[in-house]
């Protein structure tokens, strides 16, 4: 009997719990735990009503290692799926080590006091996981996650050498709100408002943030949804791709933002509302970004009216049999289709489905090992087959367009 324990009952946690419940032959027992029990109750009841499957729920503060260890000892899962926030990565990894449980997540660790995310903190757990004979699988959502598996799949089947990787993430959806970040607003705003960087010839090249006039952007003509302005930002899979894709010379990440989004975010930043330093207001310490999150619309609350599609993929250029090759691999996901299936929009869906598939790879032993791993280190084929089956079909075409040099 393979039991999983999901930590985090937000947008992504909802999709992971539902998609796992749809595959009872792999996920025999499911426990969902989060900080706010009522959110777990809602998901549990919904799964019972729509799928007729019983899941267990529990309450945990995953910042607290002792409490999380107790939770793991109580439920004895085979694998913990961490879809809480990046702040909890290390405490949940510590609890997994203490309780002897495999671990996976979708976003690398980030300290609360500094908007900086990188793999170094989690890669430092390599020996600890090895010694315990446990596996930690890092960054298994869409991007990071599928974006890297797309690259290793193309590497395996279409290239001898890869010279450049461009990851392009377009959300062409319309949620009808003035301003609403794609996922957890606090994490999302920390990510997209910091300066950009990309990998070139073995080092990082720094670029201005999307909020500065000198930001790096171009118009890309996406399949199905057409041209969208795409901005160069830093994204965490660039670090693991640079480590695991041999001899790659350049890796860039582009994300679409509308003029309206950038205007709103610029104003919020200029008036201090995106700051992560506490301010004292009526004798209370308040973090402006946390307050902003509290007043912004909850992304789950608009899922029924969210229309349009996401298009996320990678363009790789390199050589095969000494001939130049350029390939574009991508997925198109419809917000309303995602909502009809899981009750939530495509941003959470495109993250949660690959997380479920990563867990499936671990539970079935198709991806196995002792230590800390990134998705680039495993055979992409079984994962890619599951993407096709489980709601995220992908397509490969020759790429004949141009990209900024």
Binding footprint of ligand NDP on the chain (CB under 6 A): 7-13, 34-36, 39, 60-63, 83-86, 88, 106-107, 141-145, 183-184, 187, 351
CA quadruple 273, 277, 278, 280: dihedral sign: negative
Checking DSSP bridges between strand 79-82 and strand 3-7, what pairing results, if any?
parallel
3-state SS, residue 226:
strand
Q: Which is nearer to ligand NDP, 80 or 216 (CB)?
A: 80
Q: Which is nearer to ligand NDP, 142 or 330 (CB)?
A: 142
Checking DSSP bridges between strand 217-222 and strand 226-232, what pairing results, if any?
antiparallel
Nearest approach, Cβ of 14 to ligand NDP (angstroms)? 8
Nearest approach, Cβ of 74 to ligand NDP (angstroms)? 15
Instruction: Name the residue number minimizing CB distance to ligand NDP.
Output: 10
Whether the CB-CB separation of 333 and 354 falls below 8 Å is answered with no
Nearest approach, Cβ of 291 to ligand NDP (angstroms)? 14
CA angle 233, 235, 240 (to 5 degrees): 145
Q: Which is nearer to ligand NDP, 40 or 248 (CB)?
A: 40
Nearest approach, Cβ of 324 to ligand NDP (angstroms)? 30
Q: Which is nearer to ligand NDP, 39 or 317 (CB)?
A: 39
Nearest approach, Cβ of 68 to ligand NDP (angstroms)? 8
Nearest approach, Cβ of 39 to ligand NDP (angstroms)? 5
Q: Which is nearer to ligand NDP, 143 or 325 (CB)?
A: 143
Nearest approach, Cβ of 257 to ligand NDP (angstroms)? 16
Q: Which is nearer to ligand NDP, 92 or 325 (CB)?
A: 92
Q: Using CA atoms, how far apart are residues 192 and 187, in angstroms rounded to an integer?
A: 9
Q: Look at the block and give the residue holding tokens 């793999």.
A: 119
Q: What are the φ/ψ torsions at residue 135 (nearest 5 degrees)? A: -120, 135
DSSP string, 185-217: HHHHHHHHTSPEEEEETTEEEEE--TTSTT--E
DSSP string, 235-286: -THHHHHHHHSTT--EEEEEEE--HHHHHHHHHHHHTTTT--S-EEETTEEE
Q: Which is nearer to ligand NDP, 145 or 343 (CB)?
A: 145
Query: Among residues 129, 57, 68, which one has the least CA distance to residue 100?
Result: 129
């Amino acid at each position: 009997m393979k039991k999983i324990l999901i930590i985090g009952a937000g947008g992504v946690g909802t999709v992971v719990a539902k998609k796992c419940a749809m595959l009872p032959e792999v996920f025999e027992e499911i426990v969902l735990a989060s900080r706010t029990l009522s959110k777990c109750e809602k998901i549990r009841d919904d799964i019972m009503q729509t799928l007729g499957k019983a899941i267990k729920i529990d309450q945990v503060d995953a910042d607290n290692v002792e409490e999380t260890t107790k939770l793991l000892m109580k439920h004895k899962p085979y694998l913990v799926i961490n879809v809480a926030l990046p702040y909890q990565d290390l405490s949940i990894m510590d609890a997994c080590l203490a309780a002897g449980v495999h671990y996976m997540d979708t976003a690398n660790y980030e300290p609360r006091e500094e908007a900086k995310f990188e793999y170094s903190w989690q890669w430092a757990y390599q020996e600890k996981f090895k010694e315990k004979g446990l596996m930690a699988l890092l960054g298994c959502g869409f991007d990071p996650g599928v974006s890297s598996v797309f690259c290793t799949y193309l590497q395996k089947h279409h290239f001898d050498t890869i010279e450049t990787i461009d990851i392009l993430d377009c959300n062409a959806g319309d949620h009808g709100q003035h301003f609403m970040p794609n996922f957890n607003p606090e994490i999302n705003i920390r990510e997209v408002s910091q300066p950009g960087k990309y990998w070139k010839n073995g080092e990082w090249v720094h670029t201005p943030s999307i909020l500065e006039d000198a930001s790096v952007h171009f118009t890309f003509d996406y399949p199905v949804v057409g041209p969208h302005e795409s901005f160069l930002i830093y994204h965490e899979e660039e670090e693991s791709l640079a480590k695991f894709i041999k001899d790659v010379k350049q890796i860039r990440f582009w994300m679409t933002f509308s003029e309206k989004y950038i205007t709103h975010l610029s104003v919020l930043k200029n008036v201090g509302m995106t700051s992560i330093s506490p301010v004292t207001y009526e004798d209370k310490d308040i973090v402006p970004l946390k307050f902003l999150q509290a007043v912004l619309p909850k992304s789950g609350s608009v899922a029924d009216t969210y229309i349009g599609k996401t298009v996320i993929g990678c363009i790789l250029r390199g050589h095969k049999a000494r001939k130049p090759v350029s390939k574009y691999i991508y997925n198109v996901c419809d917000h309303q289709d995602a909502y009809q299936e899981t009750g939530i929009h495509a941003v959470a869906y495109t993250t949660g489905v690959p997380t479920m598939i990563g867990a499936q790879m671990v539970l079935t032993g198709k991806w196995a090992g002792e230590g800390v791993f990134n998705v680039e280190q495993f055979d992409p084929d079984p994962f890619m087959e599951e993407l096709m089956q489980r709601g995220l079909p992908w397509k490969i075409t020759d790429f004949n367009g141009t990209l900024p040099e």
